[in-house]
């Protein structure tokens, strides 16, 4: 699963491979981001409201990127660590996602900037089947 591949690298703070994880398979359709947000809401448990909002927004952006750019099945993962929440979005397309150059007139293309601004940390893990983009948010208020 996508959380396991990220946690196996040992570079995520506040989450361990033994923490509970859940995953959801998504098709690359226009409703995938809405389904992802509902899945997160059902599985977040007790979480600071700001962190829950950040997690939902970042996950929605990454799933939307998968729908628009990868166009492959997507796996959304969620691991509830003691200190942080890990969210992973895996697709079968290779390559690192890159934000486009800044352009105030462009109607889209700000998803990775939002993830960078709202997540405690984030990254991309290349896996044999494609890539996994991941982020963490704190489970407690700052």
2-10+22-97+108-138: CATH number: 3.30.565.10
Domain boundaries, the chain: 2-10+22-97+108-138
What average pLDDT does this structure show over 53-70?
89
User: Taking the CB of residue 118, how many other CB atoms lie within 10 A of it?
Assistant: 18
Selected residue with higher pLDDT from 11 and 116: 116
Among 129, 110, 131, 104, residue whose Cα is nearest residue 57: 110
Residue 103 pLDDT class (50, 70, 90 cuts)? low
| DSSP state for residue 107 in the 8-state scheme | S
What average pLDDT does this structure show over 54-58?
92
**Rounded Cα distance, 3 and 8, in Å:** 8
**32 has a pLDDT exceeding 90:** yes
**141 has a pLDDT exceeding 90:** no
Q: What is the residue whose two structure tokens read 């040992």? A: 10
Burial class (CB in 10 A: 0-12, 13-18, 19+), 140: exposed
């Amino acid at each position: 699963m996508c959380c396991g591949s990220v946690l196996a690298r040992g570079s995520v703070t506040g989450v361990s491979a033994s923490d509970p994880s859940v995953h959801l398979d998504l098709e690359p359709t226009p409703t995938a981001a809405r389904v992802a947000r509902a899945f997160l809401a059902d599985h977040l448990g007790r979480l600071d409201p700001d962190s829950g909002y950040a997690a939902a927004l970042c996950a929605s952006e990454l799933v939307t990127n998968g729908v628009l750019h990868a166009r492959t099945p997507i796996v959304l993962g969620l691991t509830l660590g003691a200190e942080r929440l890990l969210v992973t979005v895996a697709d079968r397309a290779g390559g690192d996602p890159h934000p486009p150059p800044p352009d105030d007139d462009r109607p889209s293309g700000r998803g990775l900037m939002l993830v960078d601004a709202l997540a405690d940390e984030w990254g991309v893990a290349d896996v044999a089947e494609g890539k996994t983009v991941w982020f963490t948010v704190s489970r407690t208020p700052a």
